[in-house]
Amino acid sequence: MIQLKNLTKVFEINKNNKVTAIKDVNLNIKKGELVVLKGSSGSGKSTILSLLAGLSKPTTGEVIINNDRVSKLPDNFAALFRREKIGFIFQKYNLIPTLSVRENILMPLIPDNPSNEKVETLLNSVMKRFKIEHKKEAMVKNLSGGEQQRVAIARSQVNNPNIIVADEPTANLDKDLSLHFIDILKELKNENKTIVVATHDPLFFELDFVDRVIEVRNGELV
């Protein structure tokens, strides 16, 4: 389902300074698989996720998802692809703090201009599922870290994507909230969603429902 072929990403800091974030990465992920990418900070995990989600283009190589060459898609098609196929959970949640919970979760739906009924059904369903409906009108900046993460997860699921990409999802959470996130992940895995998590949190490495743990070191898969 997901194929990363000879993927290399070089960041150009300036004319004389280039950094190779990942080098010649090859990876196949099957539908419904949960893959954990582990590695220290700066190892290239986030870059792999970013390329997989079409947030950036590889310097060489390609990303193929369900036979779509995502890395070759023009910007607008890549956006459409993300909207329909990918649910991204960011390390720092990337919520808009001065908007309400409802408005944050609504954001991925806005460009499609759906009907009111559809919006309300989708919003209520994800808010209920991730236990955040009681904070519907609260400003995100006034929520706790755990609540903010539930909003981020709800937002990533409102379009019901098949692929979930999570970048250091427990980096800002205490142990209890991290375990709660792992429960959510398990639920999503049980729904046959394809999940890729980049983390250096050891909690993920021994989970029985994780299919593969792959180490990323200096931009290469070990």
Partner 1 sequence: MNNKINLYLIEFAINSLLRQKLKNSFILIIFTFLTFLISSVFFVSNSIKHELNTTLKTLPDITIQKLKAGRHHNINTEIVDDLINIAGVEDAVARVWGFYFFENAGVNFSIIGIDEFENQYKDSINKITKENDFSKLLDSSSMIVGEGVKKILDENYYKEYFNFIKPDGTFKRVNLAGVFKSSLNLEANDTILMPKELAQEIFQLEEDKATDIVVKVANPEEILTIASKIKLMYPDSRVITNKDLEISYQNIFDYKSGLFLSLFVISLFTFFIIVYDKISGLSSEEKKEIGILKALGWKIEDVLKEKFYESFIISFLGFVFGLLSALTFVYIFNAPLLSNIFTGYSQLKTDFSLPFIMDFNTIFLVFFITVPVYIAATIIPSWRASTIETDKVLR
Kindly state whether residue 5 participates in binding partner 1, applying the rule CB under 8 A.
no
The whole-angstrom separation of Cα 155 and Cα 136 is 12
Kindly state whether residue 99 participates in binding partner 1, applying the rule CB under 8 A.
yes
* Residue (193 or 210) nearer to partner 1, CB: 193
Size of interface with partner 1, in residues (CB under 8 A): 33
Q: Which of 18, 28, 31, 111 binds partner 1 (CB under 8 A)?
A: 111
Binding mask 161-180 for partner 1 (x = CB under 8 A): --------------------
Q: Which of 96, 171, 179, 203 binds partner 1 (CB under 8 A)?
A: 96
- 123 contacts: CB under 8 Å, gap ≥ 6: 102, 105, 106, 158
Kindly state whether residue 53 participates in binding partner 1, applying the rule CB under 8 A.
yes
Kindly state whether residue 62 participates in binding partner 1, applying the rule CB under 8 A.
no
Q: Which of 64, 106, 207, 213 binds partner 1 (CB under 8 A)?
A: 106
Contact between 136 and 102 under an 8 Å Cβ cutoff? The reply is yes
Q: Which of 1, 10, 73, 80 binds partner 1 (CB under 8 A)?
A: 80
Kindly state whether residue 155 participates in binding partner 1, applying the rule CB under 8 A.
yes
Binding mask 112-151 for partner 1 (x = CB under 8 A): xxx----x--------------------------------
Contact between 219 and 40 under an 8 Å Cβ cutoff? The reply is no
* Residue 177: both structure tokens together: 């909230």
Q: Find the shortest distance in angstroms from Cβ 71 to partner 1.
A: 12
Q: Find the shortest distance in angstroms from Cβ 85 to partner 1.
A: 9
Q: Of 181, 221, 222, nearest to 201 (Cα)?
A: 181
Q: Which of 40, 94, 124, 190 binds partner 1 (CB under 8 A)?
A: 94
What are residue 29's phi and psi, to 5 degrees? Answer: -125, 130
Angle, helices 116-129 vs 145-157, to 10°: value is 140
The whole-angstrom separation of Cα 48 and Cα 71 is 12
- Applying CB under 8 A, the residues found at the interface with partner 1 are 47, 50, 53, 55-57, 75-76, 79-80, 82-84, 86, 88, 90, 94, 96, 98-99, 103, 106-114, 119, 155, 159
